[in-house]
Amino acid sequence: MSEFNPFKMAQAQLDDAMELLGLDDSTRTFLRQPMFEATVSIPIRMDDGKVKTFRGYRVQYNTSRGPAKGGIRWHAEETLDTVRALAAWMTWKTSLLELPLGGGKGGVTCDPKELSEREKERLARGYVRQVFPLLHERKDVPAPDVYTNQQIMAWMMDEFESIFREHHRGVVTGKPLQLGGSQGRFDATARGGIYTVREASKHLNIAPAEAAYAVQGFGNSGQNAALLHPKILGGGKLIAVSDSRGGVYNKDGIDPEALVHYKQRTGQVEGFENTEVISNEELLALDVDILYPAALENAITEENASEIKAKLICELANGPVTPEADKILKDKQVFVIPDFLANAGGVTVSYFEGVQNATNYYWDEDEVHKQLDAKMTHAFNAAFDSHKRHKVDLRTGAYLLAVQRVAEACKLRGWV
Ligand code: NAD
């Protein structure tokens, strides 16, 4: 098998959509590549006194509909191509949700598990010192993603404000509440995903309150999905969970709250009471109604797609299903809620955060949940109509809407 390249995967998905839309060649060529990308070196004084240089990236894929928007990932295998792919998916995501934003993404190649808190702070500030000319609430707004969090956003905002000696609360989102964060941002990605599961279930033969579900990846998105599934859908049985260190399984059900506490205490899920050990591969192949891939890209591939027994997959992670696997799942009539719809709750509440920062007026949590539900439900229904109307899968239906809007914005600006 050739090496997995997420950017090639993002381009393949886009090509399919552009072909169906019949876009002209100049538009296709323009949309297949990022508009702007930067690679930087970030020298950091480590706790042992030595200087280590990290590679950082920021990609602004398309800004025709508004400022670039997208998270920053810290990961040992982060590459420019991963960041390009994620920036492309952000472009289609903000368009699908009709947010007045473009698509961007950032990353640093590093192993966050090996960094002390002080080293993390220096890396966050060092990243901003290298890319600050690109950032601004009207240019490009980062947010947390894999292995970055509220604290890292606070340091990044502070560094940016220190450079300009002005308040710029909207320069990043996913901030702590005390520094202009939004109520409801913390669990927004998972919450939005659960709203789409609720809507999809209405069209499938699934009663989510009685459904068995499994979660792959137990970080921000995975933990909140495990907790919110029963809260929002009125029930359901969590039967397996995995993280990068291993997985746990109990066919009679696992208490999500107790497991989250256990993970917070021990840093892993393995060893949780009354569970058997399960591998990541076994988890993906379990006989569940709903599967939440919430780890990283490339989890379900042509190698294991035929083993999938779930009826519904809610892609909380970005790019967990490869295009080859997508075809296999389609033949097996597995209903897939695609990443740029399923996990759009995070950027939607990030957008609400930006609106609150710009107006300097803050909403309560109920208001955030209500507005998020309205946005997610509207986007799901629009994508579902498109999938029915064009007789394509939901991913392609969603792509058609999102790409069409971006192509129109580029055309109206005279870019293509
Ligand atoms: P996170 O860092 O909080 O959690 C990632 C989790 O995945 C960790 O529990 C890690 O142990 C686990 N993991 C890593 N490799 C694994 C493997 N091979 N098998 C099983 N588990 C593995 O990250 P997150 O913010 O929850 O993001 C997860 C996914 O959701 C990513 O694809 C991210 O791009 C996407 N996403 C996140 C947000 C957000 O707001 N946090 C928004 C949109 C999309």
Q: Within 10 Å of residue 222's Cβ, how many Cβ atoms? A: 26
The reply to whether 152 and 96 lie within a common domain is yes
At residue 3, the pLDDT reads: 79
Which atom of ligand 1 is nearest the CA belonging to 297?
Answer: 32
Domain annotation covers residue 165: yes
The model's pTM: 0.95
Ligand 1, atom 17: closest residue by C-alpha: 244
The reply to whether 192 and 164 lie within a common domain is no
Q: What is the CATH number of the domain that holds 114?
A: 3.40.50.10860
Domain annotation covers residue 364: no
Q: Which of 101, 91, 141 is nearest to 402 (CA)?
A: 91
Mean pLDDT in residue range 94-107: 98
- From 337, 367, 386, the end of a domain falls on 337
Q: DSSP of 314-330, one letter per residue?
A: E--SSS-B-HHHHHHHH
At residue 1, the pLDDT reads: 45
Ligand 1, atom 22: closest residue by C-alpha: 244
Q: Which class for 401: exposed (0-12), middle (13-18), buried (19 or more C-beta within 10 A)?
A: buried
At residue 2, the pLDDT reads: 58
Residue from 221, 301, 339 whose mutation best tests the ligand 1 pocket (most atoms within 8 A of CB): 221
Place of tokens 């400022």: 67
Domain annotation covers residue 366: no
> Please, which residues bridge with residue 106 across strands?
58, 72
In this predicted model, which residue has the larger pLDDT, 336 or 3? 336
Domain carrying residue 154: 36-171
The reply to whether 128 and 87 lie within a common domain is yes
Q: Which of 364, 318, 383, 358 is nearest to 67 (CA)?
A: 358
Query: For ligand 1, is residue 215 a contact (CB within 6 Å)?
Result: no
Q: DSSP of 236-305, one letter per residue?
A: -EEEEEEETTEEEE-TT---HHHHHHHHHHHS-STT-TT-EEE-HHHHHTS--SEEEE-S-SSSB-TTTG
Domain annotation covers residue 31: no
Place of tokens 């780890």: 295
- From 171, 199, 223, the end of a domain falls on 171
Mean pLDDT in residue range 134-162: 97
CA 342 / ligand 1 centre spacing (Å): 14
Q: Helix 150-164 vs helix 117-131: angle between axes, to the nearest 10 degrees?
A: 50
Ligand 1, atom 41: closest residue by C-alpha: 145
The reply to whether 128 and 196 lie within a common domain is no
Mean pLDDT in residue range 283-301: 96
The reply to whether 43 and 161 lie within a common domain is yes
Q: What is the CATH number of the domain that holds 286?
A: 3.40.50.720
Token output for 30: 């323009």
Predicted confidence (pLDDT) at residue 165 exceeds the cutoff of 80 = yes
The reply to whether 293 and 204 lie within a common domain is yes
The reply to whether 127 and 208 lie within a common domain is no
pLDDT tens per residue, range 178-227: 999 999 999 999 999 999 999 999 999 899 999 999 999 999 999 999 99
- From 303, 337, 371, the end of a domain falls on 337
pLDDT tens per residue, range 312-355: 999 999 999 999 999 999 999 999 999 999 999 999 999 999 99
Mean pLDDT in residue range 242-248: 96
Q: Which of 415, 360, 363, 374 is nearest to 97 (CA)?
A: 374
Domain annotation covers residue 292: yes
At residue 243, the pLDDT reads: 96
Token output for 61: 């894929």
Predicted confidence (pLDDT) at residue 18 exceeds the cutoff of 90 = yes
Domain annotation covers residue 101: yes
pLDDT tens per residue, range 24-59: 999 999 999 999 999 999 999 999 999 999 999 999
Domain annotation covers residue 154: yes
Mean pLDDT in residue range 276-288: 96
Amino acid at 23: L
The reply to whether 56 and 197 lie within a common domain is no
- How many Å apart are CA 174 and CA 41, to the nearest integer? 25
Query: For ligand 1, is residue 72 a contact (CB within 6 Å)?
Result: no
The reply to whether 271 and 325 lie within a common domain is yes
At residue 205, the pLDDT reads: 87
- Number of structural domains the chain divides into: 2
Query: For ligand 1, is residue 346 a contact (CB within 6 Å)?
Result: yes
Work out the percent of the chain whose per-residue pLDDT is above 70. 100
The reply to whether 80 and 148 lie within a common domain is yes
Mean pLDDT over all residues of the chain? 97
The reply to whether 154 and 207 lie within a common domain is no
At residue 4, the pLDDT reads: 85
Predicted confidence (pLDDT) at residue 279 exceeds the cutoff of 50 = yes
- How many Å apart are CA 256 and CA 120, to the nearest integer? 29
CA 397 / ligand 1 centre spacing (Å): 25
What torsion do the CA atoms of 389, 395, 400, 402 make, to the nearest 10 degrees? 130
Domain annotation covers residue 219: yes
The reply to whether 153 and 198 lie within a common domain is no
